[in-house]
């Protein structure tokens, strides 16, 4: 809802009432396929028969026939909308991660704030992908793109001044901590588990938001659009 920023940093579908959050990652920044599958099952069960929009800002090695990709397709076939990050392994061909390679999920690439595909955003196979049942190329990935932000590659020291100029005149005064390298990034709610960082936005003495970039930032934009 962006309540902590008085509505300034609200999401795309900021009026959403029923949000089910399945935390599948710990502080180690890694998880297992079993844990993700259990999180998906738990989330759908909470919906009690209603159709849901599922956001998966995650991915790993795999193909369209692995367990996570097949489970994602099954959810899509059941009428749920499954929105998945393409991955941050671009610009090489065939770098979309699983479950983003699943045929029936909505796989999201990342653009910068000018609308250009970022260099890190994973690309699909040039000839397309095969479904497990067919021996020919039948679909392409990613499906769509959304703002994911990019890393400002200007000389060090510019970013703090740039942010300071942009934030001047706000009723409350956000601050940057140190030297953030993420000038054109996406502003996201900051987890209480995250350590302090140079891209944090401090409001009333608390780091409530932070600047991040990646297809994981683009995916919830598209999930919100899809929900609306």
pLDDT in tens, 73-86: 999 999 999 999 99
Looking up tokens 């932000």 gives 149
pLDDT at position 152, please? 64
Give the model's pLDDT for residue 182: 79
For residue 179, cis peptide bond before it (omega within 30 degrees of 0): no
pTM for the model stands at 0.86
* Residue 174, pLDDT above cutoff 60: no
* 200 membership: H or E segment, kind and range: strand 200-203
From CA 211, how far away is CA 163, in angstroms rounded? 11
- pLDDT of the residue at 178: 58
Whether 62 has a pLDDT exceeding 60, the answer reads: yes
Region class of 111: left (phi > 0), else alpha (psi between -120 and 50), else beta: beta
Among candidate residues 69, 71, 226, the one with its CA nearest the CA of residue 146: 226
Euclidean distance between CA atoms 226 and 83, whole angstroms: 9
Tokens 């659009």 belong to which residue? 225
């Amino acid at each position: 809802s962006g309540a902590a920023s008085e509505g300034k940093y609200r999401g795309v579908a900021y009026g959403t009432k029923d949000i089910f959050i399945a935390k599948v990652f710990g502080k180690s920044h890694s998880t297992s396929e079993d844990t993700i599958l259990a999180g998906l099952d738990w989330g759908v069960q909470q919906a009690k028969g209603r159709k849901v929009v599922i956001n998966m800002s995650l991915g790993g090695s795999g193909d369209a026939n692995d367990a996570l990709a097949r489970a994602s397709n099954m959810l899509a076939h059941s009428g749920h909308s499954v929105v998945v990050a393409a991955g941050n392994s671009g610009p090489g061909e065939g770098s979309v991660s699983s479950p983003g390679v699943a045929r029936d999920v909505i796989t999201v690439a990342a653009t910068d704030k000018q609308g250009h595909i970022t260099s890190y955003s994973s690309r699909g196979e040039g000839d397309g992908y095969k479904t497990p049942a067919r021996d020919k190329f039948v679909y392409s990935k990613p499906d769509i793109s959304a703002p994911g932000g990019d890393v400002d590659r200007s000389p060090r020291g510019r970013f703090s001044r740039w942010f300071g100029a942009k934030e001047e005149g706000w009723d409350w005064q956000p601050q940057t901590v140190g030297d953030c390298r993420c000038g054109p990034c996406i502003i996201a709610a900051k987890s209480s588990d995250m350590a302090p960082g140079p891209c944090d936005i401090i409001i009333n003495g608390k780091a409530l938001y932070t600047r991040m970039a990646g297809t994981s930032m683009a995916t919830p934009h598209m999930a919100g659009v899809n929900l609306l």
